[in-house]
Amino acid sequence: MNYFHSFPESARVTISILTVLCASAAALAFILHQYRFKRDFAYLLNGVVLFLEICRTIINVALIAHVQHNMIDSLIAQNWFNVHRYILFSALTASAIYAKAARVSFPWQPLAASVLMLPIVETWLGAAFPFLFTGIVLFSLISGIATVIIIHRELTTSISGLSVKQAMDSLNTAVLFYKPNGHILMQNNKMQELMLKTAGRPISNGKLYFETIVALSNIDYAENSDVDGNKAASAYLVRLTDGAWLFSAKEMGLKGKPIVRLTAGEVTAQDRYNMLLKEKHVELVKREEQLKDFVENIEEISRSKELLRIKTEMHDSIGQKLTLLLRYLHQGELPDDKLLSFIMEDFRNDFRSIEDFPIDYKAELDALVSSYGYAKIAIDISGEFPADKSISSVLVKVLREAAANAVIHGYADRIYVDFPADGGAGAVIMRITDNSPLSVHEINEGGGIKGMRQRLEQIGGILHIEITPKFVLTVNVG
């Protein structure tokens, strides 16, 4: 290497840079080789040769650096790398012999370059050695770059550790593999980012990180078994400020050795929907309770309305019968058997009507007119009841109550019922008056009039009362 001292400074610097580049290319090739999946003897031998190639390029760097150091100190000192050169040559030779015995292909370029770099060759070549050294450096650089390109192409076009890592990094799911003791085998970038968000720092132990996730989890889903009876993954929900993540840990085997796979998927939308569903469920339960109370109240109201209806029906029926009996007693007469039989039959009909077996309004009207006729009370009807049976039935009941009031309170013996034609299309007007000799100055609306108003409200009707110049009830329906 002493002949390098006669080279210009620029030439020595250029050669130094080339040796460093050559060492970098060899190191990169060795690193890429570790991502190969094939683990056979050829793989191991190739790895040994690449490592020895790194050592050879480092020796070259040291040799040219020694020359530069001598030029700076202006003193030519003996280098101490001759032994290393022989050791390197011996290691490459042993590798070549072993490859030949195992019938495995061996890259001969590193061995040839090592032979040419032996101290004995340097002594034999003399002043020509620097040129040979420069040529070997250039060849090693080109060979190293070519090796890097070949290995990289192999990794990108076939399944390898690098391609698996790249595929994992492209996933939206965070993935981490670790041994039972916590040693992390592989994790993608998403898991590294998630680790910073959840733990606040990088964690080099997978088991410790999993325990951190369990401590942070909001929900622990119970372990289930799959269709084959194997234990399924345990799932843990972790809510962060920017979303929710569902972690899943499952034990699995790789070449007979147990490992743990920890995955995490973002479930922000699903978690939001689940929370909303829970809120709606709680609200639905409250609504159900409210509806139950409402139904109970409705039943109570219905019972109250039914009791009120029965009370009104009984009031009208008994009121009418008492009116007839009082009329007879007022005249100083006793009711005969025919009238009593008629009243009893009318009572039975009224009870049937109350029990939801309605009597036809015409039969009810005829019975009303006949019963009052026995007491010598005339009911004069001018016009026709409407064709709608439900309306006519209510009007007959209103007439019955009005007639009873006229007889009891006004001592009337003639009731006038009129259906004027000025009600308009679809409207019904019924006007009731009597020949009572008494004048009415004030009306106290008791149960009878209130009952009439309630009946009319059911069919959309109203009741109007006039007391001057005489007492008149007017019904408007429609």
151 close to 32: Cβ distance less than 8 angstroms: yes
What is the average pLDDT value for the chain, to the nearest integer?
79
pLDDT of residue 65: 85
pLDDT of residue 475: 93
Query: 462 pLDDT band (50/70/90 cuts)?
Result: very high
45 close to 103: Cβ distance less than 8 angstroms: no
pLDDT of 432 > 90? The answer is yes
* Domain spanning 172-266: CATH 1.10.150: no
Percent of the chain having pLDDT more than 90?
A: 9
Q: CA of 436: how far to CAs of 124, 171, 381, 441, 478, in Å?
A: 159, 100, 17, 13, 30
pLDDT tens-digit profile of 356-375?
445 578 888 888 888 778 77
Name, in order, each residue with C-beta under 8 angstroms of 181's C-beta and a sequence gap of 6 or more.
Answer: 207
At residue 163, the 3 state secondary structure works out as: helix
Q: How far is CA 441 from the centre of its chain?
A: 73
Query: 305 pLDDT band (50/70/90 cuts)?
Result: low
The boundaries of every CATH 3.30.565.10 domain in the chain are 300-477
pLDDT tens-digit profile of 230-250?
444 578 888 888 888 889 888
CATH code, 300-477? 3.30.565.10
Q: What is the pTM of this model?
A: 0.40
pLDDT of residue 153: 82
At residue 178, the 3 state secondary structure works out as: strand
Query: 455 pLDDT band (50/70/90 cuts)?
Result: confident
pLDDT tens-digit profile of 126-165?
888 888 888 988 998 998 899 899 888 877 766 555 566 6
